[in-house]
Structure formats: C-alpha cells, structure tokens
Amino acid sequence: MKNIQISPSILSADFSQLGTEIKRLEEGGADMIHVDVMDGHFVPNLTIGPPVIKALRKHCSLKFDVHLMISPVHKYIEAYADAGADIITVHPEATDNLEVSINKIKDLKKKVGVSLNPETSIDLIKNFLNKIDLVLIMSVNPGFGGQKFMPEVLEKIKQLKKIREVEKLNFDIEIDGGINFDNCKIAIEAGANILVSGTTVFKGNDGDIKKNINLLKTK
C-alpha cells in the first residue's frame, strides 16, 4: 500500500499572503502543494498563472502539484514546467491529443497527471496508464472550492486500484473535491493515496494546519 500524502490546495489560502501560507503548509507537514489553475473557459473560474507559481517557488521546497484546468492545455504545458511545476495534471477533454500532451510533460522531465471529472469515464485513459504517474479523480465538478463531496466517484478509484494491481503499474491515485474529516477515510479505503484538501486544511480546528493534515491522514 502506498503512503498517504496530503496535497493542500492553495485555492483556500489567503491570496494576499500566499508566500507565508505556503511556508505554513510546509511547516505543518504537507507532502506537496496543490495549485489549481483555472482559465474561466474550461471551468467557470479564474485563478493563477505561471508568474505566480514562479514567484511562489522560491518560498517552498515541496513539490508543486499543478492541476491545469485550462483549454487548450497543450500550448501552456511548457510555461508551467518552466515556472516550477513538478507534477503537471491535464484533462483529456482539454487537449486534442492526450498522448502527445503526456509525452510533452515527460520530455520536460516532469511527472504526468491526468484528471477525470465526475462524469468522465476511465476508458479515456486506460490505454495511457502505463505512462501516467498520477490519476486525479475529481469528487466535485471543478471550478470552485467548498463544494460538496460526490461519493459516487469512489467506484472509479476502486477500478483504478484494481487495474494498477492486475497490470502491476505504479501510478498514484489522487482525489480532489470536498475532502474533509468525514470522508477522508472512505477515499483512502477506496484506494486514494493522495488527498487534496483546501478548506479543511486551512479552516478546520481554528486553522491548525499541522493537526488538520495529521487528521486527514489518520482519521
């Protein structure tokens, strides 16, 4: 079994103090930093671009887990790699050719993630699982933080875990969307080994980040 890791989403951070917030996450025991990039087109929200990631990079030694919710995504991959992303996650629907985008990320010496929205079938990525480092399962419809967890996506995680075992693959399974102290256990039991959480990490227990991260891993 893979170790459970927590990738806090800075979407829930204080954007006026992002450098400080990232240091708090690192000191609180975060395993990586989840950066949600939204373009107002692929999803109905706008967030941050490469210059912000580049500026934040010097504040933190943790891996940057960058989730690109932008379309068309392919032409922006290199800019996010150059900015300091360690893991670059794309959506199959956001690229004309998923295999070409996967290969580009690999050529840039970054880890490859592919994300599946709640309505997106595993079938879109089955042929590429041997090239992927991480599958990100969305447990809300992407666009805004603070949405309610959709338990029906756990079936996809179970299927991915089984495929990984049968085919002897080694990709991580990450889940993002409404993850809190009430549902983290069922997500882990289904097979997720990386939990993305924003509101719970930053706001739970009066903002005690270290306590919240530990609770998500062990609850």
For residue 153, the number of C-alpha atoms closer than 13 Å in the C-beta half-sphere is: 28
Tokens of residue 88, six digits: 């670059």
Read off the pLDDT of residues 170-218 as tens digits, 9 standing for 90 and up: 999 999 999 999 999 999 999 999 999 999 999 999 999 999 999 999 8
Q: Is 9 exposed, middle or buried (0-12, 13-18, 19+ CB in 10 A)?
A: buried
Give the residue-averaged pLDDT of 19-41.
96
Tell whether pTM > 0.85: yes
H helices of the chain, in order, are: 18-27, 50-57, 77-83, 98-107, 154-166, 184-190, 199-203, 209-218
Name the CATH superfamily, with its identifier, for domain 5-218.
Aldolase class I (3.20.20.70)
Cα 174 to Cα 115: distance, rounded to the nearest angstrom: 9
SS3 label, residue 17:
helix
* Residues with catalytic roles: 36, 176
> Tens of pLDDT along 103-141?
999 999 999 999 999 999 999 999 999 999 999 999 999
Angle at 194 between CA 166 and CA 111, to 5 degrees: 80
pLDDT of residue 45 exceeding 90: no
- For the segment 64-84, what is each residue's pLDDT rounded down to a tens digit? 999 999 999 999 999 999 999
Instruction: Kindly state the DSSP code that residue 154 receives in the 8-state scheme.
Output: H
Q: Under a CB-based contact definition with an 8 Å cutoff, are residues 202 and 8 in contact? A: yes
Confidence of residue 145 (pLDDT cuts 50, 70, 90): low
